[in-house]
Structure 1
Amino acid sequence: MSEPSLKEKTAKGLFWGGLGNGMQQLLNLFFGIFISRLLTADDYGMTGMLAIFIAIAAALQESGFTNALTNKKEATHKDYNAVFWFSTLMGATMYIVLFFCAPLIADFYNQPKLVPLSRFLFIGFFISSSGIAHNAILFKNLMVKQRTLSQIIGLIVSGCVGVGMALGGMAYWGLAAQSVTYIMVTTACFWYFSPWRPTWHIDLHPIKEMFSFSSKILVTNIFIQFNNNIFSVLLGRLFSKSEVGYYTQANKWDTMGYSLITGMVAGIAQPVLTEVANDQGRQRNVFRKMLRFTAFIAFPAMLGLALIARELIVISVTDKWLACVPILQLLCIWGAFMPIVSLYSNLVISKGKSDIYMWNTIILGVIQLIALLLVYPFGIQTMIIVFVCINIGWMPVWHYFIWRQLRLSFWQAVTDIAPFALLAALTMIATYYATRGIGNIYLLFAAKIGLAVLIYVLLMMVTKAAVFKESVAFLLKKRLK
C-alpha cells in the first residue's frame, strides 16, 4: 500500500481530531452537568484557585520538548530517552517543591483546606511527566486516532470517578480526583499506543541541543497559562469564592467550545507545516487552507455558544449558575479567535522561530496584567471586556510575523477569515430574532441550534464556499468507505 499523501494525512488528522475533540466535549458536558448539579460555586472556586499553579508546573515539566522533537527531521531513540528522563525528574522535583509550598498557597488565599487539596492535585505532575516522550511520538507521527482514544478513555474513567465522589458528598475532592484520574489513565494509554520504550541509559546531552528552541516554548507556555488563569488568581485574591466559581464555570464552557476547534487543528498543524517548511509557496497554500477551515468552524461554533448560553446553562446546570451567562458570552467572542491564534503560533513554531512566539506572548501578557490591575475595581465583567479587546487587538501583531515568514498579506488573511466571521454573525442575529417569541426553554434551545445550523449551511451553499464543499466531499467519501 502506498504512503498516504500529506493532504490525506492532514484530512484524516482533522477528521479524527474533530471526532475525538467532539466526543471529548460531549463527555465533558455529560459529566460536567452531573457534577455541576451536585456541587456549588464554592467547590469550583476551591479548585479554580489552584488552576494557575497546576498549569505552570505542567508547562515546566514538559519544557517545550514535544515541539522540539516534532521540529527535528530525524529524532532518535537517544533524543526521546533524554526527554523522558528529564521530564520525569522535573515532574518529581515540581511535586516536591509544590508539596512544601502548599501552606504558602493556602495562606495567599486564606483557605487552609487548600493544603491537602493542592498536595493531592499536584500528584498529577509526576504521573503525566512519564508520558511526555510517548505523547511526542504520537504527535510527531500524526497518530491522532491513538491520541484521541487515549483522551476519551481518560475522560470516561475520570468522569465516573468525579460523579461517584460528588454523589458521595466529597464536594471539591471529586473534582480533584477526576483531574488526577484523567492524567493517570491518559498517560497509561500513551504508553500503550506508543511503539517507543525508554531505556535505563540516562544521557541528557540531547536536552542541551534542543533547549535553545524548547526553552522559549517553555517560557511562552508559562505565559499562556498565566494569561489563561490570571482571572482565577485575581478573583481569588480580590473577590469571593462564589465569584471565582462563576468565572470558573463560564471559562470551563468557553474552553470546551474553542478547545474543540483548537484541538482539531493544533493536533496536525505543526507536524504538517514542518513537513513543508522548505517550500514557502506550498507552506503558504497549506496555511491558508488551514486558516479558512479554522474560521469556517470557529466562528459559528463560538458565536453559536454565545447565542445559546442562557438556555444551555439553565438546562444543563440549573439556574443557580445564571450569573455566569454574561461572563460566558463575553469569553465566547475571544474564543472565536483563539483557534486562529493557535494556528498562527503553530506556523511560527514550525519555522523554528520560538523566540518570536515567546516575545509576542510575553509582551501581550504584560499588557494584559497591567490593564487588568487597573480596571479590576470596576468589576469582573469590565475585566473580561478589556481582556477580550486586548487579545483581539493583538491579532495584527501576530499577523505581522506570519507575513515575515510566508509573505501572506494582512488583506489576504482578512479575505480568508472575514467572510466566515460575517456569515456566522448574521446567522446568529437572524436566529436570535426568529426565535424570540418561543417561551419554552427546551424548545427555544432546540430551535436556536437547528435554525442556526440550517441558516449557516444554506449560506455556505449560496456563497459556494470551497472549504464547505471539500469538507462535505471528504465526509461522504469517509462514509462510503
Structure 2
Amino acid sequence: MKKSVSATIWSVLDRIWAQIISFFIGIVLARLLTPDDYGLVGISMVFIAFSNVFIEAGFSNALIRKLDRTNIDYSTAFHFNTLMGVAMYAVLYFGAPWIADYFDDKQLIPLTRLVSITVVLNSLCIVQNAILTAEFRMREQAIINIVSQIPSGLLAVYLAYIGWGIYALAVNTILASFIRTVMFWIVTKWWPSWEFSMESMRYLWGFGSKLIGANFLGTVFNEIYTLLIGKYVNKTDLGFYSKGRSLSTQPETICNGVIQKVSLPLLANVQNDANLLREKYRELTKMVTCVMTIISGILIVIAKPLIILLWGEAWVGSVIAFQLLLLASVIGYVQSLTLVLLQIVNQTGYTLKLEFLKKPVYLVVILLSIQYGMIGLLIAYVINSLWGTFVNMSAPQRYLSYSYFEQIKDVLIYVAAWIFGSILVWGFSLFVHPCYVVDIVFRMAIMAVIYVGFLGLMKDEVFMKYSKQIYLTCKNKLAL
C-alpha cells in the first residue's frame, strides 16, 4: 500500500510540475503569438493524436497488465511500435497537402510534416515508459517529464520572440519529445534485442487490438470539435478553443496520469481477489474525484481574471471555452477509470461496446450544435461528457457489483463541496472588484477553505487518509 501511495504522490507531482512549467512557458508564448497561430498548430496536432492511437496500439497497457513479462515481450512490442511510427509519419508526410486543402491553408503542409516527427520519436519510448510504470518508478518518470519541458520551452520562447510564429510551437513539441525519448532510454537502461516472438505478438495484439477501436473512436470524438471549429467557424475561434482546452486539460492530465500510472499496476496486483479489487476501485474513484473537483473548481471560478492577467485582453475569448471544458473534464474522468477496470478484468472488448452506445448520441448532439458556432459545440461537449459517463458507469456495476447508486453516493460529498464553494465565490465576486491578482487570490482562498473545511467536517475517509499521508511525507522530507 505504501508503494501505491508513494506512486500516487509522485505521479501527481510529475503532472503538476510538468503542467506548471508548460503553464509559465505558455504565458510568454501567448503574448508573443496570435490565436490564429495556435489554431493552425491545433489542427496539425489532431492528426498526431490519431497517429498515436495506432502506434501505441494498447501494447503499453498489455505489458503492464502481464505479470510474467519477458525481454522478448518488450522487444516484440518495441519493433511493432517503431514500425508503426515510421508508417504513420509517411502517411502524414504525404497526406499533408490534402489536410491543407481541406482547411484551405497552405501553411499546414510544412507545419504538419514538421510536427509529425514527434510520431516517430514517441514510438521509440513506449516500451521504456511501460517498464517504469509497471515497476512503480514514478519518480524517474516525473524527472524525465519535467526536465524535457524546460529547454524545449525556453527555445520556443526565443524563436517566438525573433518571429518564427507557428514554427516556435512546432519546435517546442519536437524538442520535448526528443529529450523525453533519450532520457527514457538512459534511465531504464533497457535496449531491445532483435528478437520478435509471434507468441508475444498474439498476446499483445489480442489485448491491444480491442482497445484500438475504442481509443480511435474516443480520439475522433475528442478532436472532432477542433476539426469542425477550424473548418466551419474560423481559426481565431479555434485558437481560443485550443488555448482554453490546453489550460483546461491540465487538471485532467494530472488525474489521468495518476489513473494510468498508478491504478493499472495497483489494480493488476489484486485482480485475482474480487472483493479487494472492488475496494481498491472504490477508493481510487473517491481519490480522483477529490483531486479533480478541487483543482477544476478553483480554476473555473478564477477563469476570467486569470486569463486576462496571464495572456492579456486579446485572449478573453478563451474564458468560456476554458470553463465549459473544465466542467466536462470533471464529469468525464469516470470514463478513464472504467477503461482501466475493463483492462484489469480482461474485458477490453466491452470497451468497444460502450463506445458504440455513446458515439451515435455524441454525433447527433454535435450535428445539432454546429449551427451555434464555438459556444454550441462547447455545450455539446459537456452534454456528451455527461452521457459518456453515464454509459461507462455500467462497467463497475457489471464486473464489480458496484451499482450506479453506490458510485453516485461515493462522489456526492466532493461534488457538494465544489458546488457550495463555487456559490460562495460567485457571491463574493458580485460585491468585490479588486485588481486581478487580489481577485484571484481571494477566490482561490475561499474555494480552497470551503472545500477542505467541508470534507474535514464531514470526516471523509479518503480525504483524511491522503491528507495525513501527504503531511507525513512532507514532514519526513523536511526533517531530512
TM-score by length of 1: 0.96
Any unmatched runs of 5+ in structure 1?
A: 1-6
What amino acid sits opposite 2:122 in the alignment?
A: S
Contact kept, 8 Å, 2:267 with 2:280, in 1: the verdict is yes
Counterpart mapping for 1:17-56 below 5 A: 17-56=11-50
Q: Distance in 1 between matches of 2:132 and 2:290?
A: 27
Cα deviations across residues 421-457 of structure 1 (Å, max 9, x unaligned)? 0111101111221243133221101111112111212
Counterpart mapping for 1:71-220 below 5 A: 71-220=65-214
In structure 1, the residue matched to 2:461 is 466
Contact kept, 8 Å, 1:139 with 1:267, in 2: the verdict is yes
Using the TM superposition, give the Cα deviation of residue 297 of structure 1 relative to its aligned residue in structure 2, in angstroms: 1.2
Counterpart mapping for 1:28-427 below 5 A: 28-427=22-421
Cα deviations across residues 462-481 of structure 1 (Å, max 9, x unaligned)? 11111221122112221232
Q: Secondary structure at the match of 1:412?
A: helix
Using the TM superposition, give the Cα deviation of residue 204 of structure 1 relative to its aligned residue in structure 2, in angstroms: 4.8
Q: Distance in 2 between matches of 1:181 and 1:362?
A: 37
Judge which range, 279-288 or 185-194, deviates more. Answer: 185-194
Judge which range, 350-359 or 104-113, deviates more. Answer: 350-359
Judge which range, 39-48 or 409-418, deviates more. Answer: 409-418
Using the TM superposition, give the Cα deviation of residue 49 of structure 1 relative to its aligned residue in structure 2, in angstroms: 1.1
Any unmatched runs of 5+ in structure 2?
A: none
Using the TM superposition, give the Cα deviation of residue 380 of structure 1 relative to its aligned residue in structure 2, in angstroms: 1.6
What amino acid sits opposite 2:25 in the alignment?
A: F
In structure 2, the residue matched to 1:444 is 439
TM-score by length of 2: 0.96
What amino acid sits opposite 1:193 in the alignment?
A: V
Cα deviations across residues 242-290 of structure 1 (Å, max 9, x unaligned)? 0111111111111112212221232211111111111110011111111
Q: Distance in 1 between matches of 2:464 and 2:157?
A: 41
Matched-pair identity in %:
26
Q: Distance in 2 between matches of 1:471 and 1:156?
A: 30
CA 1:182–1:363 in 2, change beyond 3 Å: closer, same or farther? Answer: farther
What amino acid sits opposite 1:447 in the alignment?
A: F
Contact kept, 8 Å, 1:82 with 1:205, in 2: the verdict is no
Q: Distance in 1 between matches of 2:220 and 2:24?
A: 28
Pairwise CA RMSD of aligned residues? 1.4
Q: Secondary structure at the match of 2:86?
A: helix
Q: Distance in 1 between matches of 2:116 and 2:44?
A: 10
Q: Secondary structure at the match of 1:379?
A: helix
Contact kept, 8 Å, 1:308 with 1:448, in 2: the verdict is yes
What amino acid sits opposite 1:233 in the alignment?
A: L
